[in-house]
Amino acid sequence: MTVFRALGGDPKGLGQKRPRRLAPDAYLPAPYNCLFEYDEAQHFTRHRRVTLDHYPTEFLYGFAVDKWQAYCDKYSLVAEAKGAAGYRAPKIEFPFEGGRHAQRALFDTLRDFAPPLHGLCPTIRVSEFEFNPRRDPPKALMALIESRRAKSSV
């Protein structure tokens, strides 16, 4: 709830929502046994920076938190302007302009912390600033995944 409150969430609005499964971009089976998330620019908002600022240092991550914070610092204005107005619309649990950004930031946080609680390895994240599927070969993505897996299992 600390992160939810830091994002300006409304507990009454949250209480009105139905529980739903939080779908990842992909699940990587053994030997990875983890969720995989590909973060496009819209994931690097000031709201995501707020969540990342609450990440404990003693937790294992499948990405460099400080690098994600730097991406937020550099790209938040672009991220928050990207896409249709619906990407910035209020949500019942975040009833303010930009509510969808806060919601996405919360969902990303849940995708980072929930998997290890359920026996999975840390979520591996790759950003569009590191890998572009239209430009980079698949083996470049696999190299990033392998490097993150090694760091998240230390």
pLDDT band at residue 127 under the 50/70/90 scheme: very high
Q: Within 13 Å and on the Cβ side, how many CA atoms surround 12?
A: 1
What are the domain boundaries of the chain? Answer: 2-17+25-152
What pLDDT, in 10s, does the model give residues 73-120?
999 999 988 866 667 789 999 999 999 999 999 999 999 999 999 999
Q: Is the pLDDT of residue 126 over 70?
A: yes
33: Cα separation from own chain's centroid:
18
pLDDT band at residue 154 under the 50/70/90 scheme: low
The contacts of residue 137 (CB under 8 Å, 6+ apart) are none
Q: What's the confidence (pLDDT) of residue 149?
A: 87
CA 79 to CA 109: how far, in whole Å?
A: 17
Q: Is the pLDDT of residue 151 over 90?
A: no
Structure tokens at 149: 């897996």
Q: Residue 125 pairs with which residues in a beta bridge?
A: 37
Q: Residue 67 pairs with which residues in a beta bridge?
A: none
What pLDDT, in 10s, does the model give residues 28-85?
999 999 999 999 999 999 999 999 999 999 999 999 999 999 999 999 999 988 866 6
Q: What's the confidence (pLDDT) of residue 153?
A: 67
Q: Of the candidates 26, 9, 38, which has an alpha carbon nearest to the alpha carbon of residue 100?
A: 9
Cα-Cα-Cα-Cα dihedral sign, residues 28, 32, 34, 35: negative
CA 40 to CA 12: how far, in whole Å?
A: 30
Q: What's the confidence (pLDDT) of residue 88?
A: 76
| pTM for the structure as a whole | 0.93
